[in-house]
Amino acid sequence: MQEQVILVDQQDREIGVAEKLEAHRKGKLHRAFSVFLFNAKDEMLLQQRAAEKYHSGGLWTNTCCSHPRPGEQTEAAARRRLREEMGISCNLNKAFDFIYRAEFDNGLIEHELDHVFIGRYDGAALPDPGEVMAHRWVSIDTLKKDLAIAPENFTAWFKIAVHKVLQARSGQPPSSA
């Protein structure tokens, strides 16, 4: 069965469904989510996407990201994929959402209304090797340096969302930029 995504308008109202690859070929706006986990040392858990992913393979990104299925609540989908991708179960809190559009060299287009969830986790990750090539906990200072030195090593959505996540965690409202 082909995986489907939920098509939405700019206000996140459902307007239909589409096959996932078709939505990415045509750049249709669809619902997505990103999960950012932090540990007690205030480190962020990153994953390196498996090389075989349909886009952004081998790039570093947030702990988990995906799309809810038709009829599935976004937070429930985030919890499901966090278990499937990283072998982690923990509480998540919705932080904000944002819309972004990114075009890739392979002709695919990410055009997503991304719901961002933040959680706290201090255990071990057990990633699915079909989804995740590597993972690591990183301090915020190291992450900022890595992003400044080699932004090409990170996914398009991560480079947008990470700054908003850090603002939200510090009590500031996320910027619209």
- Comparing C-alpha atoms, which of 130, 134, 161 is closest to residue 147? 161
Q: How far apart are the first and last CA of the chain?
A: 37
Query: Catalytic annotation on 65?
Result: yes
Query: Catalytic annotation on 64?
Result: no
Alpha carbon 20 to its chain centroid, in Å, reads 16
How far CA 27 is from CA of 95, 138, 157, in Å, comes to 25, 32, 15
Among 65, 75, 84, 103, the one annotated catalytic: 65
Among 64, 85, 110, 112, the one annotated catalytic: 112
Tokens coding 12: 């996140």
Catalytic residues: 65, 112
